[in-house]
Copies of this chain bind each other. A is one copy, B any other.
Amino acid sequence: MTDTTRCLKLARYAPEGVPDPASFELSVEAVREPGDGEVLVEVHWLSMDPFPRMCMRGEASMAPQLPLGAVMMGRGAGRVIKSRDVGFAPGDLVAGELGWRELACVKAEALRGVDASLGPLEASLGLLGPSGLTAYFATRQHAQPRAGETVVVSAAAGSVGSTACRLAALAGARVVGVGAGPRQSRYLLEEVGVTAAVDGLDAERLVAAIAAACPRGVDVFLDGVGGAVHDAVMGSLNVGARVVVYGLISSYGEGAGRADVGPRNLMRIIMKRARITGFLVGDHAAEFPHALKELGAKLADGSLVASQTVHEGLEAAPHAFATLFGDAHPGKQLVRLAAAPRNDHT
């Protein structure tokens, strides 16, 4: 028996700009039987994340380039159908690098088990997954905001940012969220509960808007954006400020040679005795169980919310992905695939 799966393949490179949905092509491919150490997963949810944007530029960069015709990379969550690995059994819920497809035969190392007692499956891609963990370690471990400090969060309406805003507010900080467009500003003020929201798309007023929103300066800056937003916030740093960078969504769509050029801000870093820390959540893997337990408890008691926007069906992935680079609907962008049980939490 040979199963087949629907999938989305990279049809053309997108060197610059918001990734055109026409970059992807719906296709059907055979699914191989799992070999030793492999697991066959029925994919229920796809996670839309910015990083894969860098892998489809078709030019040298710090990210590996996806070959044309390959299934688009991306994280997902689902249920194990067959397993030839001792770590997983049929019926297990898993999350990991599955690609944009409905059935995925992958190496067990690409997967982690999902503890359904902590929250719904799709939360393993957001609040109880890399996004929530990124927000958790960036805030709690690297930046450590104190009560009364001003914390600026960029991409604040997104999956990492909205959680970072909430964690900073729980620490007693004054939180300023920088979003993309008026819809995200409203969401930040009304749903996330930030003290002030700044529209990061309003480039001309950005510097003044940040300064106005942070009358006592910026003590902590949690940045997933880079570019003009980064520069504007750097201009308001206080002495002893902690800056944590975990993403550069503003430059993922720029050509490698042109990306990320601007003021280096080093004089400001010196004069303000500031610290910039670059951070990849995977380095904290040993601490994930502890962090997930805390995030799960906060999800259960309502002090954290798994904000998400659900797009329906594999065909929706290209558009959902593109919205990441514009004024996306709030929270984690998820694509629910056909096999997902309809009683899944939305």
The chain B residue with its CB closest to the CB of A256 is B267
Q: How many copies does the complex hold?
A: 2
Q: Which of A67-75, A90-98, A195-203, A278-286 contacts B (4 or more CB under 8 A)?
A: A278-286
Bound: A226/B271 CA distance, A: 14
**Contact status B278-A275, CB under 8 Å:** yes
A245 in the interface, Cβ–Cβ < 8 Å? yes
A89 CB to closest chain B CB, in angstroms? 35
A274 in the interface, Cβ–Cβ < 8 Å? yes
Bound: A223/B264 CA distance, A: 13
A30 in the interface, Cβ–Cβ < 8 Å? no
Q: Report chain B residues within 8 Å CB of A247.
A: 270
Bound: A245/B272 CA distance, A: 11
A146 in the interface, Cβ–Cβ < 8 Å? no
**Contact status A262-B264, CB under 8 Å:** yes
Q: Report chain B residues within 8 Å CB of A144.
A: none
The chain B residue with its CB closest to the CB of A283 is B273
A236 CB to closest chain B CB, in angstroms? 13
**Contact status B283-A279, CB under 8 Å:** no
A232 CB to closest chain B CB, in angstroms? 13
**Contact status A267-B283, CB under 8 Å:** no
**Contact status A260-B267, CB under 8 Å:** yes
Bound: A266/B272 CA distance, A: 18
A300 in the interface, Cβ–Cβ < 8 Å? no
A261 in the interface, Cβ–Cβ < 8 Å? yes
A269 in the interface, Cβ–Cβ < 8 Å? yes
**Contact status A62-B278, CB under 8 Å:** no
A82 in the interface, Cβ–Cβ < 8 Å? no
A131 in the interface, Cβ–Cβ < 8 Å? no
Return the contact of A263 from the options B230, B261, B268 (Cβ within 8 A).
B261
**Which residue among A274, A276, A280 has the maximum number of chain B CB atoms within 10 Å of its CB?**
A276
A265 in the interface, Cβ–Cβ < 8 Å? yes
Q: What 7 new A-B contacts, CB under 8 Å, besides A245-B266, A246-B270, A248-B270?
A: A62-B268, A226-B264, A262-B264, A269-B276, A275-B276, A275-B277, A276-B276
The list of the 7 closest CB pairs from A to B, nearest first, reads A269-B278, A270-B278, A276-B276, A260-B264, A275-B277, A226-B266, A274-B278
13 cross-chain CB contacts under 8 A: A245-B266, A245-B270, A248-B266, A260-B263, A261-B262, A262-B264, A263-B264, A266-B278, A271-B278, A272-B278, A273-B278, A273-B279, A276-B276
